[in-house]
């Protein structure tokens, strides 16, 4: 039996005009008078899902979801090669979150972020701590250079066949073939030839699928069958990771003093290959008001039953949490 709350539909939605040519899709679910909670999706560039609405008690929470810049239902889409991503950075999204909070008339809210969403939650909370009541993170990442290098080089010995295919998809002689696969794929994903772009997006996701399928043989996201989704996600991810997500290295761990007064729950799968436990452990040590829960049979996916149940339990704990 699923631990998630029943499926629900939004009671409101819209497009937030950022004033710089971007329109951010947002939706509100649950109780309009409930405790505000914000979902920060992963990727970057994955877009929010209907399942993410179900991690909160709909009678108790006003659940806000949004598609980050240039993905999902936000416009323009990164799948269009003409879309300029120069206005899509971590700090643009932090500003979008704050603009959305003000637009919706919210004083403080509970943040929930998975994977890349945990990086974004920390960046927002450290910038606007007065607006954050509590934080729940799963598959914890801070997008340090070492974390990026692990994903696109360090994991190679675990998946030698998949790594060989990932490398060989980069044309011979391309700068960084061995050293910087993110930069090499970033170039391919912005190539003038549409077939080159699409093949690069497919090859990128085949590499990402290696660790997903190890934990769950049926775990490849169905959305990845959509070429537009592949192009959007791969183009945004390589845009971010080529630029170190516009974060000083270990910035989010160094600035945890800004989280004083904010309680947090960190949920980490012991079997998470993509986001190894060490990052969540280091964050818990640096953030005294956080609580680290290690799930022995969970990996990175929030679809894992143990992880889903842990997320619901965590958000329920903040259901009646007093505002700051």
Which residue has tokens 């910035």?
251
- 20-48 residue pLDDT tens: 999 999 999 999 999 999 999 999 999 99
Q: How far apart are CA 84 and CA 204, in angstroms?
A: 21
pLDDT for 160 beyond 80: yes
pLDDT for 318 beyond 80: yes
Q: Could you tell me the domains of the chain?
A: 12-142+246-317 (3.40.50.1820), 146-244 (no CATH)
Q: How far apart are CA 237 and CA 22, in angstroms?
A: 18
Residues tagged active-site: 115, 272, 300
Q: What is the mean pLDDT of residues 220-231?
A: 83
- In this structure, how many other beta carbons lie within 10 angstroms of the beta carbon of residue 153? 16
Q: Counting Cβ atoms within 10 Å, is residue 130 exposed (0-12), middle (13-18) or buried (19+)?
A: exposed
- 108-159 residue pLDDT tens: 999 999 999 999 999 999 999 999 999 999 999 999 999 999 999 999 999 9
Q: How far apart are CA 183 and CA 179, in angstroms?
A: 9
Distances (CA, A) of 210 to 42, 224, 229, 298: 18, 14, 18, 16
Distances (CA, A) of 22 to 83, 151, 241, 281: 10, 30, 21, 36
């Amino acid at each position: 039996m699923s631990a998630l709350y029943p499926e629900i539909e939004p009671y409101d939605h819209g497009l937030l005009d950022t004033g710089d040519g971007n329109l951010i899709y947002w939706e509100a679910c649950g109780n309009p008078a409930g405790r505000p909670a914000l979902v920060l999706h992963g990727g970057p560039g994955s877009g929010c899902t209907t399942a993410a609405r179900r991690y909160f008690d709909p009678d108790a929470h006003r659940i806000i979801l949004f598609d980050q810049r240039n993905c999902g239902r936000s416009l323009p889409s990164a799948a269009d090669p003409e879309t300029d991503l120069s206005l899509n950075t971590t700090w643009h999204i932090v500003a979008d979150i704050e603009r959305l909070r003000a637009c919706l008339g919210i004083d403080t809210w509970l943040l929930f972020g998975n994977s890349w969403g945990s990086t974004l939650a920390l960046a927002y909370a450290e910038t606007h701590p007065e607006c954050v009541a509590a934080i729940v993170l799963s598959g914890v990442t801070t997008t340090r250079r070492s974390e990026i290098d692990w994903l696109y080089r360090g994991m190679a010995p675990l998946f030698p066949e998949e790594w060989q295919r990932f490398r060989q998809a980069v044309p011979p002689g391309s700068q960084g073939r061995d050293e910087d696969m993110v930069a090499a794929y970033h170039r391919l994903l912005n190539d003038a030839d549409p077939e080159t772009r699409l093949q690069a997006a497919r090859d990128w996701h085949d590499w990402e699928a290696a660790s997903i399928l190890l934990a769950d043989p049926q775990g490849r996201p169905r959305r990845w069958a959509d070429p537009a989704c592949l192009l959007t996600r791969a183009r945004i991810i390589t845009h971010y990771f080529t630029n170190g997500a516009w974060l000083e290295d270990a910035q989010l761990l160094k600035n945890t003093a800004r989280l004083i007064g904010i309680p947090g729950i960190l949920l980490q799968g012991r079997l998470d290959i993509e986001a190894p436990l060490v990052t969540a452990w280091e964050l818990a040590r640096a953030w005294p008001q956080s609580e680290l829960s290690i799930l022995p049979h969970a990996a990175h996916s929030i679809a894992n039953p143990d992880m889903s149940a842990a997320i619901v339990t965590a958000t329920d704990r903040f259901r009646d949490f007093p505002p700051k």
